[in-house]
Amino acid sequence: MIANIFIGLTIFWIIVNIIWFVVLTIKKYAGLTLPKEFQVKVKKTVIANFYYLFIFGLLGFLFL
């Protein structure tokens, strides 16, 4: 049960990372300008998401 929760959270963070990468890719190729604080926030969030992804994935497989 706990393993399923952690693996589900890992999948959720993977989806969040994919959404952020899509936003950044669209911004880059469409030539859109976003506020600087938004760009900084996105980069910090992506880095934090990788930490969450690692932690939840590790915990999920430890509880299997």
Could you report the per-residue pLDDT of 1-44, keeping only the tens digit for each?
A: 777 887 888 888 888 888 888 887 887 788 877 788 877 887 78
Residues 6+ apart with CB under 8 A from 24: 42
Can you tell me the distance from the alpha carbon of 46 to that of 3, in angstroms, rounded to the nearest whole number?
24
Could you tell me if residue 25 is inside a domain?
Answer: no
pLDDT at 6: 78
Could you tell me if residue 17 is inside a domain?
Answer: no
Could you tell me if residue 27 is inside a domain?
Answer: no
The total domain count for the chain is 1
Structural domain containing residue 53: 1-12+32-64
pLDDT at 24: 79
Could you tell me if residue 61 is inside a domain?
Answer: yes
